[in-house]
Structure 1
Amino acid sequence: MPHSPSRTAGRAAVLGSPIAHSLSPVLHRAAYAELGLDGWTYDRYEVTEQGIPGFLAGLDDRWAGLSLTMPLKRAVLPLLDEVSGTAASVEAVNTVVFTEDGRRKGDNTDIPGMVAALAERGITRVETATVLGAGATASSALAALARICDGEVTAYVRGQERAREMRGWGERLGMRVRTDDWSRAAEGLRAPLVVATTPAGATDGLAHAVPAPGGTLFDVLYDPWPTPLAAAWNGAVVGGLDLLVHQAVLQVEQMTGCRPAPLAAMREAGEAELRARAG
Protein backbone atom coordinates (compact mmCIF):
# COMPACT_ATOMS: atom_id res chain seq x y z
CA MET A 1 0.00 0.00 0.00
CA PRO A 2 1.23 3.54 -0.72
CA HIS A 3 2.49 5.62 2.18
CA SER A 4 0.06 8.28 3.39
CA PRO A 5 0.48 11.75 1.86
CA SER A 6 2.67 14.19 3.77
CA ARG A 7 -0.23 16.68 3.85
CA THR A 8 -3.97 16.52 3.13
CA ALA A 9 -3.74 19.07 0.33
CA GLY A 10 -0.91 20.65 -1.59
CA ARG A 11 -0.02 22.73 -4.59
CA ALA A 12 2.64 21.90 -7.14
CA ALA A 13 3.53 23.08 -10.64
CA VAL A 14 6.05 22.94 -13.45
CA LEU A 15 7.96 26.12 -14.30
CA GLY A 16 9.93 26.99 -17.40
CA SER A 17 10.01 28.96 -20.62
CA PRO A 18 8.51 27.87 -22.96
CA ILE A 19 6.16 25.71 -20.89
CA ALA A 20 2.87 25.30 -22.81
CA HIS A 21 4.03 21.96 -24.28
CA SER A 22 4.87 20.35 -20.93
CA LEU A 23 3.36 16.94 -20.19
CA SER A 24 4.12 17.23 -16.48
CA PRO A 25 0.62 18.40 -15.46
CA VAL A 26 -0.91 15.38 -17.21
CA LEU A 27 1.44 12.96 -15.44
CA HIS A 28 1.21 14.46 -11.96
CA ARG A 29 -2.57 14.89 -12.08
CA ALA A 30 -2.92 11.26 -13.17
CA ALA A 31 -0.84 10.27 -10.15
CA TYR A 32 -2.99 12.35 -7.80
CA ALA A 33 -6.16 10.77 -9.19
CA GLU A 34 -4.78 7.25 -8.83
CA LEU A 35 -3.56 7.95 -5.28
CA GLY A 36 -6.84 9.58 -4.23
CA LEU A 37 -5.20 12.95 -3.52
CA ASP A 38 -8.34 15.00 -4.12
CA GLY A 39 -6.98 18.11 -2.44
CA TRP A 40 -3.86 18.34 -4.60
CA THR A 41 -3.38 20.55 -7.65
CA TYR A 42 -0.64 20.72 -10.29
CA ASP A 43 -0.34 23.57 -12.79
CA ARG A 44 2.15 25.10 -15.23
CA TYR A 45 3.65 28.59 -15.19
CA GLU A 46 5.73 30.44 -17.76
CA VAL A 47 8.73 31.61 -15.72
CA THR A 48 12.06 32.96 -16.98
CA GLU A 49 15.44 33.07 -15.26
CA GLN A 50 14.72 36.67 -14.29
CA GLY A 51 11.31 35.74 -12.90
CA ILE A 52 12.19 32.74 -10.74
CA PRO A 53 13.29 34.69 -7.61
CA GLY A 54 10.01 36.62 -7.50
CA PHE A 55 7.93 33.52 -8.18
CA LEU A 56 9.51 31.65 -5.28
CA ALA A 57 9.13 34.64 -2.97
CA GLY A 58 5.41 34.75 -3.67
CA LEU A 59 4.62 31.15 -2.67
CA ASP A 60 2.72 30.39 0.53
CA ASP A 61 2.75 27.33 2.81
CA ARG A 62 0.24 25.46 0.64
CA TRP A 63 2.99 24.70 -1.86
CA ALA A 64 4.59 21.26 -1.71
CA GLY A 65 6.95 21.32 -4.67
CA LEU A 66 7.97 22.43 -8.13
CA SER A 67 9.18 20.74 -11.29
CA LEU A 68 11.69 22.81 -13.26
CA THR A 69 12.55 22.70 -16.92
CA MET A 70 14.79 24.92 -19.02
CA PRO A 71 16.06 27.55 -18.46
CA LEU A 72 15.63 27.24 -14.69
CA LYS A 73 17.56 24.10 -13.74
CA ARG A 74 20.72 26.05 -12.95
CA ALA A 75 19.22 29.47 -12.33
CA VAL A 76 17.41 28.15 -9.23
CA LEU A 77 20.55 26.91 -7.47
CA PRO A 78 21.40 30.09 -5.50
CA LEU A 79 17.77 30.34 -4.34
CA LEU A 80 17.75 27.00 -2.49
CA ASP A 81 18.51 26.11 1.12
CA GLU A 82 19.71 22.59 0.32
CA VAL A 83 20.82 20.73 -2.82
CA SER A 84 21.14 16.96 -3.06
CA GLY A 85 24.42 15.36 -4.01
CA THR A 86 22.84 14.11 -7.24
CA ALA A 87 21.82 17.62 -8.30
CA ALA A 88 25.09 19.15 -7.15
CA SER A 89 27.07 16.67 -9.25
CA VAL A 90 25.74 18.29 -12.45
CA GLU A 91 24.72 21.71 -11.06
CA ALA A 92 21.16 21.17 -12.28
CA VAL A 93 17.94 20.99 -10.24
CA ASN A 94 14.68 19.81 -11.77
CA THR A 95 12.80 19.26 -8.50
CA VAL A 96 12.18 21.59 -5.55
CA VAL A 97 10.44 20.32 -2.43
CA PHE A 98 9.22 22.67 0.29
CA THR A 99 9.57 21.30 3.81
CA GLU A 100 7.12 21.97 6.61
CA ASP A 101 9.54 24.48 8.14
CA GLY A 102 9.75 26.39 4.85
CA ARG A 103 13.09 25.19 3.54
CA ARG A 104 13.65 24.78 -0.20
CA LYS A 105 15.31 21.47 -1.10
CA GLY A 106 16.60 20.88 -4.61
CA ASP A 107 17.10 17.52 -6.30
CA ASN A 108 17.64 16.08 -9.78
CA THR A 109 15.32 13.22 -10.67
CA ASP A 110 16.41 13.20 -14.32
CA ILE A 111 19.53 11.20 -13.43
CA PRO A 112 17.89 8.30 -11.55
CA GLY A 113 14.97 8.59 -14.00
CA MET A 114 17.31 7.85 -16.91
CA VAL A 115 18.81 4.90 -15.07
CA ALA A 116 15.35 3.54 -14.24
CA ALA A 117 14.07 3.98 -17.81
CA LEU A 118 17.03 2.02 -19.16
CA ALA A 119 16.73 -0.66 -16.49
CA GLU A 120 13.06 -1.13 -17.42
CA ARG A 121 14.31 -2.17 -20.87
CA GLY A 122 16.94 -4.47 -19.41
CA ILE A 123 19.88 -2.07 -19.85
CA THR A 124 21.74 -2.10 -16.54
CA ARG A 125 25.40 -2.19 -17.69
CA VAL A 126 27.14 -1.12 -20.91
CA GLU A 127 30.80 -1.18 -21.92
CA THR A 128 30.80 2.13 -23.80
CA ALA A 129 28.29 4.81 -24.78
CA THR A 130 27.75 7.83 -27.00
CA VAL A 131 26.15 11.13 -25.98
CA LEU A 132 24.85 13.39 -28.73
CA GLY A 133 24.88 17.03 -27.67
CA ALA A 134 25.88 19.11 -24.67
CA GLY A 135 24.11 21.19 -22.03
CA ALA A 136 22.10 20.42 -18.90
CA THR A 137 20.42 17.30 -20.28
CA ALA A 138 23.75 15.99 -21.58
CA SER A 139 25.41 16.49 -18.20
CA SER A 140 22.56 14.58 -16.56
CA ALA A 141 23.05 11.85 -19.14
CA LEU A 142 26.72 11.65 -18.21
CA ALA A 143 25.80 11.36 -14.54
CA ALA A 144 23.40 8.52 -15.36
CA LEU A 145 26.04 6.80 -17.48
CA ALA A 146 28.52 7.12 -14.63
CA ARG A 147 26.31 4.63 -12.78
CA ILE A 148 26.04 2.03 -15.55
CA CYS A 149 28.88 2.48 -18.06
CA ASP A 150 32.12 0.59 -17.41
CA GLY A 151 34.21 2.24 -20.12
CA GLU A 152 34.59 5.42 -22.12
CA VAL A 153 31.79 7.77 -23.12
CA THR A 154 32.17 9.78 -26.34
CA ALA A 155 30.29 13.06 -26.61
CA TYR A 156 29.69 14.60 -30.03
CA VAL A 157 29.33 18.37 -29.74
CA ARG A 158 29.55 21.59 -31.73
CA GLY A 159 32.43 23.84 -30.70
CA GLN A 160 35.46 23.64 -28.48
CA GLU A 161 33.79 25.34 -25.52
CA ARG A 162 31.08 22.67 -25.36
CA ALA A 163 33.75 20.00 -25.73
CA ARG A 164 35.67 21.42 -22.76
CA GLU A 165 32.47 21.53 -20.71
CA MET A 166 31.67 17.89 -21.38
CA ARG A 167 35.19 16.76 -20.54
CA GLY A 168 34.96 18.82 -17.36
CA TRP A 169 31.74 17.09 -16.37
CA GLY A 170 33.46 13.77 -16.95
CA GLU A 171 36.27 14.73 -14.60
CA ARG A 172 33.81 15.82 -11.93
CA LEU A 173 31.84 12.61 -12.27
CA GLY A 174 34.95 10.42 -12.25
CA MET A 175 34.43 8.95 -15.70
CA ARG A 176 36.27 8.87 -19.00
CA VAL A 177 34.70 11.29 -21.47
CA ARG A 178 36.15 11.78 -24.95
CA THR A 179 34.78 14.52 -27.18
CA ASP A 180 34.54 14.68 -30.95
CA ASP A 181 33.10 17.11 -33.47
CA TRP A 182 29.43 16.88 -34.39
CA SER A 183 30.40 16.36 -38.05
CA ARG A 184 31.53 12.84 -37.08
CA ALA A 185 28.48 12.01 -34.93
CA ALA A 186 27.41 9.24 -37.30
CA GLU A 187 30.43 7.24 -36.11
CA GLY A 188 29.05 7.32 -32.57
CA LEU A 189 25.86 5.54 -33.58
CA ARG A 190 27.76 2.24 -33.47
CA ALA A 191 28.06 2.36 -29.67
CA PRO A 192 26.03 -0.17 -27.64
CA LEU A 193 24.12 2.75 -26.09
CA VAL A 194 23.48 6.10 -27.76
CA VAL A 195 21.87 8.92 -25.76
CA ALA A 196 20.50 11.79 -27.86
CA THR A 197 20.08 14.94 -25.76
CA THR A 198 19.67 17.50 -28.55
CA PRO A 199 16.67 19.70 -29.42
CA ALA A 200 14.13 18.65 -32.03
CA GLY A 201 15.59 18.40 -35.50
CA ALA A 202 19.24 18.29 -34.49
CA THR A 203 19.69 14.56 -35.11
CA ASP A 204 17.43 14.26 -38.16
CA GLY A 205 20.45 14.26 -40.46
CA LEU A 206 21.82 11.15 -38.75
CA ALA A 207 18.83 8.94 -39.56
CA HIS A 208 20.44 7.77 -42.82
CA ALA A 209 23.53 6.57 -40.94
CA VAL A 210 21.83 4.20 -38.48
CA PRO A 211 23.83 0.95 -38.27
CA ALA A 212 22.23 -2.45 -38.81
CA PRO A 213 21.90 -3.93 -36.32
CA GLY A 214 22.14 -1.12 -33.79
CA GLY A 215 22.46 -1.09 -30.04
CA THR A 216 20.05 0.88 -27.82
CA LEU A 217 18.98 4.44 -28.59
CA PHE A 218 17.79 6.66 -25.75
CA ASP A 219 16.25 9.75 -27.35
CA VAL A 220 15.12 12.25 -24.69
CA LEU A 221 12.55 13.92 -26.96
CA TYR A 222 8.88 12.93 -26.75
CA ASP A 223 6.93 15.37 -28.91
CA PRO A 224 6.84 14.88 -31.83
CA TRP A 225 7.50 11.16 -31.56
CA PRO A 226 9.13 9.22 -32.98
CA THR A 227 11.97 11.42 -34.10
CA PRO A 228 13.43 10.55 -37.53
CA LEU A 229 16.43 9.01 -35.77
CA ALA A 230 14.23 6.87 -33.51
CA ALA A 231 12.04 5.83 -36.45
CA ALA A 232 15.07 4.67 -38.41
CA TRP A 233 16.78 2.90 -35.51
CA ASN A 234 17.53 -0.81 -35.92
CA GLY A 235 17.53 -1.80 -32.28
CA ALA A 236 15.91 -1.06 -28.93
CA VAL A 237 14.58 2.48 -28.44
CA VAL A 238 13.94 4.27 -25.13
CA GLY A 239 12.00 7.49 -25.60
CA GLY A 240 11.60 10.80 -23.87
CA LEU A 241 8.25 9.79 -22.42
CA ASP A 242 9.97 6.91 -20.62
CA LEU A 243 12.37 9.41 -19.04
CA LEU A 244 9.64 11.91 -18.27
CA VAL A 245 7.47 9.33 -16.52
CA HIS A 246 10.27 7.83 -14.45
CA GLN A 247 11.57 11.19 -13.27
CA ALA A 248 8.00 12.34 -12.55
CA VAL A 249 7.38 9.23 -10.43
CA LEU A 250 10.25 10.30 -8.18
CA GLN A 251 8.94 13.87 -8.05
CA VAL A 252 5.45 12.73 -7.02
CA GLU A 253 6.93 10.58 -4.27
CA GLN A 254 9.07 13.41 -2.92
CA MET A 255 6.37 16.08 -3.09
CA THR A 256 3.45 14.05 -1.73
CA GLY A 257 5.15 11.47 0.49
CA CYS A 258 3.15 8.71 -1.27
CA ARG A 259 5.25 5.71 -2.31
CA PRO A 260 5.16 4.06 -4.73
CA ALA A 261 3.82 6.53 -7.28
CA PRO A 262 1.59 4.92 -9.95
CA LEU A 263 4.00 4.49 -12.86
CA ALA A 264 1.57 2.65 -15.14
CA ALA A 265 -1.25 5.19 -14.72
CA MET A 266 1.13 8.08 -15.33
CA ARG A 267 2.55 6.51 -18.49
CA GLU A 268 -0.94 5.71 -19.80
CA ALA A 269 -2.02 9.33 -19.26
CA GLY A 270 1.09 10.60 -21.05
CA GLU A 271 0.57 8.30 -24.01
CA ALA A 272 -3.08 9.34 -24.30
CA GLU A 273 -2.14 13.01 -24.28
CA LEU A 274 0.48 12.54 -26.99
CA ARG A 275 -2.02 10.64 -29.15
CA ALA A 276 -4.50 13.50 -28.71
CA ARG A 277 -1.89 16.07 -29.69
CA ALA A 278 -1.01 14.06 -32.78
CA GLY A 279 -4.56 14.41 -33.94
Structure 2
Amino acid sequence: MRVSGETRLAVLGKPIAHSKSPQLHAAAYGVLGLPWVYERHEIDETTLAAFVKSRDTAWRGLSLTMPLKQTIQPHLDRIDRIGELTGAVNTVLLQWGGDTVHRTGFNTDVPGIVRALRAAGVTSARHAHVLGGGATAASAIVAASELGAESVRVSVRAPERAQALVPLAASVGLTIEIAEFAAPRDDDATELVVSTLPGGAEAPLAFSAGFRARVPLLDVAYEPWPTTLGRAWADAGGVVLGGLAMLVHQALLQVRIFVTGDPFAPLPNEESVLSAMLAAVGLAADGTPAPR
Protein backbone atom coordinates (compact mmCIF):
# COMPACT_ATOMS: atom_id res chain seq x y z
CA MET A 1 0.00 0.00 0.00
CA ARG A 2 1.03 3.61 -0.49
CA VAL A 3 2.73 4.94 2.60
CA SER A 4 3.29 8.56 1.61
CA GLY A 5 2.06 11.25 -0.74
CA GLU A 6 5.39 11.36 -2.56
CA THR A 7 6.10 9.98 -6.01
CA ARG A 8 9.35 8.05 -5.70
CA LEU A 9 11.95 6.81 -8.15
CA ALA A 10 15.50 5.51 -7.80
CA VAL A 11 18.59 4.31 -9.60
CA LEU A 12 19.82 0.85 -8.58
CA GLY A 13 23.23 -0.74 -9.02
CA LYS A 14 26.50 -1.65 -7.35
CA PRO A 15 28.56 0.44 -6.96
CA ILE A 16 26.13 3.35 -7.09
CA ALA A 17 27.59 6.21 -5.02
CA HIS A 18 29.14 7.78 -8.14
CA SER A 19 25.85 7.92 -10.08
CA LYS A 20 24.86 11.30 -11.52
CA SER A 21 21.30 10.14 -12.20
CA PRO A 22 19.82 11.85 -9.11
CA GLN A 23 21.17 15.25 -10.26
CA LEU A 24 19.83 14.72 -13.78
CA HIS A 25 16.36 13.65 -12.72
CA ALA A 26 16.10 16.37 -10.07
CA ALA A 27 16.93 18.98 -12.72
CA ALA A 28 14.28 17.59 -15.07
CA TYR A 29 11.50 17.40 -12.49
CA GLY A 30 12.38 20.89 -11.30
CA VAL A 31 11.72 22.32 -14.77
CA LEU A 32 8.54 20.25 -15.06
CA GLY A 33 7.30 21.43 -11.66
CA LEU A 34 7.02 17.89 -10.30
CA PRO A 35 7.95 17.42 -6.61
CA TRP A 36 9.19 13.89 -7.25
CA VAL A 37 11.88 12.20 -5.14
CA TYR A 38 14.66 10.35 -6.98
CA GLU A 39 17.09 8.29 -4.86
CA ARG A 40 20.01 5.94 -5.30
CA HIS A 41 20.14 2.45 -3.76
CA GLU A 42 23.06 0.01 -3.75
CA ILE A 43 21.49 -3.20 -5.03
CA ASP A 44 23.10 -6.28 -6.61
CA GLU A 45 21.76 -9.50 -8.13
CA THR A 46 21.15 -11.04 -4.71
CA THR A 47 19.00 -8.19 -3.38
CA LEU A 48 17.25 -7.08 -6.59
CA ALA A 49 14.16 -9.30 -6.37
CA ALA A 50 13.35 -8.35 -2.79
CA PHE A 51 13.77 -4.65 -3.53
CA VAL A 52 11.57 -4.69 -6.62
CA LYS A 53 8.82 -6.73 -4.97
CA SER A 54 8.74 -4.53 -1.86
CA ARG A 55 7.93 -1.26 -3.68
CA ASP A 56 4.59 0.31 -2.74
CA THR A 57 2.23 2.53 -4.74
CA ALA A 58 4.37 5.61 -4.08
CA TRP A 59 6.87 4.23 -6.59
CA ARG A 60 6.71 5.24 -10.26
CA GLY A 61 9.92 3.81 -11.68
CA LEU A 62 13.48 2.54 -11.46
CA SER A 63 16.69 3.19 -13.35
CA LEU A 64 19.15 0.30 -13.55
CA THR A 65 22.89 0.26 -14.00
CA MET A 66 25.42 -2.55 -13.75
CA PRO A 67 25.17 -5.34 -12.76
CA LEU A 68 21.38 -5.37 -13.07
CA LYS A 69 20.57 -4.65 -16.73
CA GLN A 70 20.52 -8.34 -17.65
CA THR A 71 19.10 -9.71 -14.39
CA ILE A 72 15.93 -7.62 -14.07
CA GLN A 73 13.97 -9.44 -16.82
CA PRO A 74 12.41 -12.22 -14.67
CA HIS A 75 10.80 -9.52 -12.50
CA LEU A 76 9.06 -7.74 -15.41
CA ASP A 77 5.66 -8.21 -17.03
CA ARG A 78 6.69 -6.75 -20.38
CA ILE A 79 9.88 -5.58 -22.12
CA ASP A 80 10.08 -3.11 -24.99
CA ARG A 81 11.45 -4.10 -28.40
CA ILE A 82 14.96 -2.73 -27.83
CA GLY A 83 15.18 -4.38 -24.42
CA GLU A 84 14.21 -7.73 -25.93
CA LEU A 85 16.64 -7.26 -28.81
CA THR A 86 19.65 -6.38 -26.64
CA GLY A 87 18.77 -8.48 -23.58
CA ALA A 88 19.42 -5.34 -21.51
CA VAL A 89 16.91 -3.21 -19.59
CA ASN A 90 17.89 0.01 -17.82
CA THR A 91 14.44 1.46 -17.04
CA VAL A 92 11.38 0.05 -15.28
CA LEU A 93 7.99 1.78 -15.28
CA LEU A 94 5.67 0.84 -12.42
CA GLN A 95 1.97 1.23 -13.25
CA TRP A 96 -0.51 0.61 -10.45
CA GLY A 97 -4.10 -0.62 -10.49
CA GLY A 98 -5.10 -0.52 -6.86
CA ASP A 99 -2.43 -2.52 -5.06
CA THR A 100 -1.48 -4.47 -8.20
CA VAL A 101 1.55 -3.35 -10.16
CA HIS A 102 2.49 -3.87 -13.82
CA ARG A 103 6.23 -3.61 -14.47
CA THR A 104 7.44 -2.65 -17.95
CA GLY A 105 11.13 -2.68 -18.88
CA PHE A 106 12.75 -0.37 -21.42
CA ASN A 107 16.20 0.09 -22.91
CA THR A 108 16.97 3.81 -23.27
CA ASP A 109 20.72 3.22 -23.70
CA VAL A 110 20.41 2.61 -27.45
CA PRO A 111 18.61 5.87 -28.29
CA GLY A 112 20.73 7.61 -25.63
CA ILE A 113 23.89 6.66 -27.52
CA VAL A 114 22.41 7.74 -30.86
CA ARG A 115 21.13 11.06 -29.51
CA ALA A 116 24.45 11.86 -27.77
CA LEU A 117 26.46 11.17 -30.93
CA ARG A 118 24.11 13.18 -33.12
CA ALA A 119 24.29 16.13 -30.73
CA ALA A 120 28.07 16.01 -31.21
CA GLY A 121 27.71 15.99 -34.99
CA VAL A 122 28.21 12.24 -35.51
CA THR A 123 25.19 11.37 -37.64
CA SER A 124 26.41 8.26 -39.45
CA ALA A 125 29.06 5.55 -39.26
CA ARG A 126 29.35 2.68 -41.72
CA HIS A 127 31.89 0.70 -39.71
CA ALA A 128 32.13 0.78 -35.90
CA HIS A 129 34.54 -0.64 -33.33
CA VAL A 130 33.13 -1.52 -29.91
CA LEU A 131 35.39 -2.18 -26.92
CA GLY A 132 33.91 -4.61 -24.39
CA GLY A 133 31.23 -7.26 -24.72
CA GLY A 134 28.66 -6.72 -21.96
CA ALA A 135 25.15 -5.27 -21.79
CA THR A 136 26.21 -1.79 -22.93
CA ALA A 137 28.14 -3.29 -25.85
CA ALA A 138 24.90 -4.88 -27.04
CA SER A 139 23.25 -1.45 -26.92
CA ALA A 140 26.22 0.08 -28.77
CA ILE A 141 25.86 -2.47 -31.58
CA VAL A 142 22.17 -1.68 -32.05
CA ALA A 143 22.94 2.05 -31.86
CA ALA A 144 25.58 1.61 -34.58
CA SER A 145 22.96 -0.01 -36.80
CA GLU A 146 20.66 2.99 -36.25
CA LEU A 147 23.51 5.22 -37.43
CA GLY A 148 23.67 3.24 -40.67
CA ALA A 149 26.52 0.88 -39.83
CA GLU A 150 27.18 -2.11 -42.07
CA SER A 151 29.71 -3.86 -39.84
CA VAL A 152 31.05 -3.84 -36.31
CA ARG A 153 34.23 -5.11 -34.75
CA VAL A 154 34.06 -6.05 -31.06
CA SER A 155 37.27 -6.25 -29.02
CA VAL A 156 37.02 -8.26 -25.78
CA ARG A 157 39.23 -10.13 -23.35
CA ALA A 158 37.39 -13.44 -23.80
CA PRO A 159 35.76 -13.80 -27.26
CA GLU A 160 33.98 -16.99 -26.26
CA ARG A 161 31.95 -15.04 -23.69
CA ALA A 162 30.71 -12.52 -26.26
CA GLN A 163 29.21 -14.94 -28.79
CA ALA A 164 25.64 -13.82 -27.96
CA LEU A 165 26.50 -10.61 -29.81
CA VAL A 166 26.72 -12.53 -33.12
CA PRO A 167 22.97 -13.20 -33.55
CA LEU A 168 22.22 -9.73 -32.17
CA ALA A 169 24.34 -8.11 -34.88
CA ALA A 170 22.75 -10.32 -37.53
CA SER A 171 19.27 -9.35 -36.34
CA VAL A 172 19.99 -5.68 -37.07
CA GLY A 173 21.71 -6.35 -40.38
CA LEU A 174 25.35 -6.02 -39.29
CA THR A 175 28.31 -8.25 -40.04
CA ILE A 176 30.37 -8.71 -36.89
CA GLU A 177 33.92 -9.67 -35.97
CA ILE A 178 34.69 -10.58 -32.37
CA ALA A 179 38.38 -10.53 -31.52
CA GLU A 180 40.58 -10.64 -28.45
CA PHE A 181 42.19 -7.35 -27.45
CA ALA A 182 45.37 -6.99 -29.45
CA ALA A 183 47.20 -4.40 -31.48
CA PRO A 184 44.36 -2.59 -33.26
CA ARG A 185 44.14 -2.18 -37.00
CA ASP A 186 44.29 1.51 -37.84
CA ASP A 187 42.23 1.09 -40.98
CA ASP A 188 40.49 3.61 -43.18
CA ALA A 189 37.09 1.93 -42.78
CA THR A 190 36.37 2.50 -39.08
CA GLU A 191 34.28 5.63 -38.54
CA LEU A 192 33.34 5.31 -34.86
CA VAL A 193 34.78 3.79 -31.69
CA VAL A 194 32.58 3.11 -28.67
CA SER A 195 34.24 1.99 -25.44
CA THR A 196 31.92 0.21 -23.02
CA LEU A 197 34.70 -0.69 -20.60
CA PRO A 198 33.98 0.06 -16.91
CA GLY A 199 35.20 3.34 -15.47
CA GLY A 200 38.80 3.06 -14.37
CA ALA A 201 39.49 0.02 -16.58
CA GLU A 202 42.45 0.36 -18.88
CA ALA A 203 41.87 -0.38 -22.56
CA PRO A 204 44.50 -3.05 -23.37
CA LEU A 205 45.24 -1.57 -26.78
CA ALA A 206 46.42 1.68 -28.29
CA PHE A 207 45.33 3.55 -31.41
CA SER A 208 47.63 5.73 -33.49
CA ALA A 209 47.42 9.50 -33.16
CA GLY A 210 46.22 9.81 -36.75
CA PHE A 211 43.39 7.34 -36.14
CA ARG A 212 42.36 9.13 -32.93
CA ALA A 213 42.32 12.48 -34.71
CA ARG A 214 40.05 11.14 -37.45
CA VAL A 215 37.63 8.75 -35.73
CA PRO A 216 35.15 9.94 -33.05
CA LEU A 217 35.15 8.17 -29.68
CA LEU A 218 32.26 7.68 -27.29
CA ASP A 219 33.57 6.36 -23.97
CA VAL A 220 30.57 5.41 -21.84
CA ALA A 221 32.57 5.69 -18.61
CA TYR A 222 32.34 8.96 -16.71
CA GLU A 223 33.81 8.24 -13.29
CA PRO A 224 36.72 8.75 -13.18
CA TRP A 225 36.98 11.13 -16.12
CA PRO A 226 38.83 11.51 -18.31
CA THR A 227 39.71 7.88 -18.81
CA THR A 228 43.11 7.02 -20.22
CA LEU A 229 41.47 6.38 -23.58
CA GLY A 230 39.50 9.63 -23.48
CA ARG A 231 42.62 11.63 -22.60
CA ALA A 232 44.56 10.02 -25.44
CA TRP A 233 41.80 10.91 -27.90
CA ALA A 234 41.68 14.51 -26.71
CA ASP A 235 45.46 14.79 -26.90
CA ALA A 236 45.28 13.79 -30.56
CA GLY A 237 42.66 16.46 -31.25
CA GLY A 238 39.91 13.96 -31.94
CA VAL A 239 36.20 14.14 -31.17
CA VAL A 240 35.64 12.51 -27.78
CA LEU A 241 32.45 12.18 -25.76
CA GLY A 242 32.36 10.92 -22.19
CA GLY A 243 29.64 8.78 -20.69
CA LEU A 244 27.88 11.79 -19.19
CA ALA A 245 26.61 12.78 -22.64
CA MET A 246 25.04 9.37 -23.14
CA LEU A 247 23.76 9.40 -19.55
CA VAL A 248 21.95 12.71 -20.06
CA HIS A 249 20.22 11.63 -23.26
CA GLN A 250 19.16 8.22 -21.99
CA ALA A 251 17.94 9.89 -18.77
CA LEU A 252 15.81 12.32 -20.76
CA LEU A 253 14.05 9.31 -22.31
CA GLN A 254 13.64 7.80 -18.84
CA VAL A 255 11.96 11.02 -17.73
CA ARG A 256 9.62 10.74 -20.72
CA ILE A 257 8.75 7.19 -19.63
CA PHE A 258 8.18 8.11 -15.98
CA VAL A 259 6.11 11.22 -16.82
CA THR A 260 4.16 10.12 -19.91
CA GLY A 261 4.56 6.34 -19.96
CA ASP A 262 5.99 6.58 -23.49
CA PRO A 263 9.67 7.00 -24.50
CA PHE A 264 8.55 8.57 -27.80
CA ALA A 265 6.29 11.24 -26.30
CA PRO A 266 8.15 14.58 -25.92
CA LEU A 267 7.93 16.30 -22.56
CA PRO A 268 6.33 19.70 -22.04
CA ASN A 269 9.05 22.32 -22.62
CA GLU A 270 11.50 19.51 -23.43
CA GLU A 271 14.23 21.82 -24.74
CA SER A 272 14.43 23.52 -21.34
CA VAL A 273 14.37 20.15 -19.59
CA LEU A 274 17.33 18.91 -21.62
CA SER A 275 19.24 22.16 -21.08
CA ALA A 276 18.74 21.89 -17.32
CA MET A 277 19.93 18.28 -17.31
CA LEU A 278 23.05 19.12 -19.31
CA ALA A 279 23.81 22.06 -17.01
CA ALA A 280 23.36 19.84 -13.93
CA VAL A 281 26.43 17.82 -14.97
CA GLY A 282 28.39 20.66 -16.58
CA LEU A 283 27.88 19.83 -20.26
CA ALA A 284 27.27 22.01 -23.29
CA ALA A 285 24.62 21.16 -25.88
CA ASP A 286 27.07 19.03 -27.88
CA GLY A 287 27.91 16.90 -24.84
CA THR A 288 31.36 18.34 -24.25
CA PRO A 289 32.30 20.09 -20.98
CA ALA A 290 30.67 23.52 -20.74
CA PRO A 291 33.04 26.52 -20.51
CA ARG A 292 33.56 27.72 -16.94
Same topology, TM > 0.5: yes
Which one has a larger percent helix, Structure 1 or Structure 2?
A: 1
Identity of aligned pairs, percent? 43
The CA deviation at 1:152 is: 1.3
Mapped pair 1:254 → 2:273: no
CA distance in 2, matches of 1:268, 1:197: 24
CA distance in 1, matches of 2:106, 2:209: 35
Q: Which moved more, 1:160-169 or 1:182-191?
A: 182-191
- 1:232 aligned residue: 232
Q: Give the TM-score normalised by the residue count of structure 2.
A: 0.84
- Counterpart residue type for residue 14 of structure 1: V
Q: Which one is further off, 206-215 or 238-247?
A: 206-215
TM-score (norm 1): 0.88
2:19 paired residue number = 22
Indicate the SS of the match to 2:229: helix
Structure 1 contact 221–227 (Cα < 8 Å) conserved:
yes
Residue in 1 aligned with 2:263?
Answer: none
Deviation of residue 183 (structure 1)?
A: 1.1
2:63 corresponds to 1:67: yes
Q: Counterpart of 1:73 in 2: which secondary structure?
A: coil
RMSD (Å), alpha carbons: 2.1
The Cα offsets for residues 48-79 of structure 1, whole Å up to 9 and x where unpaired, read as 11211111111111111000011111111011
Contact 1:130 1:189 in 2 (8 A): no
Q: 1:200 to 1:218 in 2, by over 3 A?
A: same
Q: Does the residue aligned with 1:70 lie in a helix, a strand or coil?
A: coil
For residues 162 and 172 of structure 1, do their structure 2 counterparts lie closer, same or farther at Cα, with a shift above 3 Å needed? farther
Partner of 2:149: 150
Encode CA deviations 1:190-209: one digit per residue, 9 max, x unaligned.
72111111123444554563
Q: Does 1:54 align with 2:62?
A: no
147-156 or 240-249, which deviates more: 147-156
Q: Gapped runs of 5+ residues in structure 1?
A: 1-7, 273-279
Match of 1:192 in 2: 191
> Residue 210 of structure 1: CA displacement?
3.5
What is the CA–CA distance in structure 2 between the aligned matches of 1:158 and 1:152, rounded to whole Å? 20
Q: Secondary structure at the match of 1:194?
A: strand
**Residue 269 (str. 1) matches residue 280 (str. 2):** yes
Deviation at 1:163, TM superposition (A): 4.2
Match of 1:3 in 2: none
Q: Deviations over 1:249-276 (max 9, x none)?
A: 000111022705411111111228xxxx
Match of 2:171 in 1: 172
The C-alpha deviation readout for 1:74-124, integer Å capped at 9, x for no partner, is 111011011000110011110000113321000000000001011111222
Q: Which runs of 5+ in 2 are unaligned?
A: 261-265, 284-292
User: In structure 2, the residue corresponding to 1:44 is in which secondary structure?
Assistant: strand
1:186–1:210 CA distance, 2 compared to 1 (3 A): farther
Aligned to 1:104: 103
- Partners of 1:43 and 1:188 lie apart in 2 by 45
1-side partners of 2:185 and 2:135: how far apart?
22
- 1:55–1:132 distance in 2 versus 1, CA, 3 Å: same
Distance across 2 between alignment mates of 1:163 and 1:187: 23
The match for 2:247 is: 244
Question: Which string of whole-angstrom CA distances, capped at 9 and with x for unpartnered residues, describes residues 141-199 of structure 1?
Answer: 00111111332111111123134233232123331111222013364797211111112
How much does 1:17 deviate? 1.1
Aligned equivalent of 1:31: 28
Tell me if structure 2 keeps the 8 A contact 1:24–1:248: yes
- Report if the CA contact (8 A) 1:190-1:214 is conserved: no
Residue 10 of structure 2 aligns to a residue in which SS? strand
Residues 189 and 210, structure 1, Cα contact 8 Å, conserved in 2: no
Q: Work out the CA distance in 1 between the residues paired with 2:129 and 2:56.
A: 44
Q: Which moved further from structure 2: 234-243 or 103-112?
A: 234-243
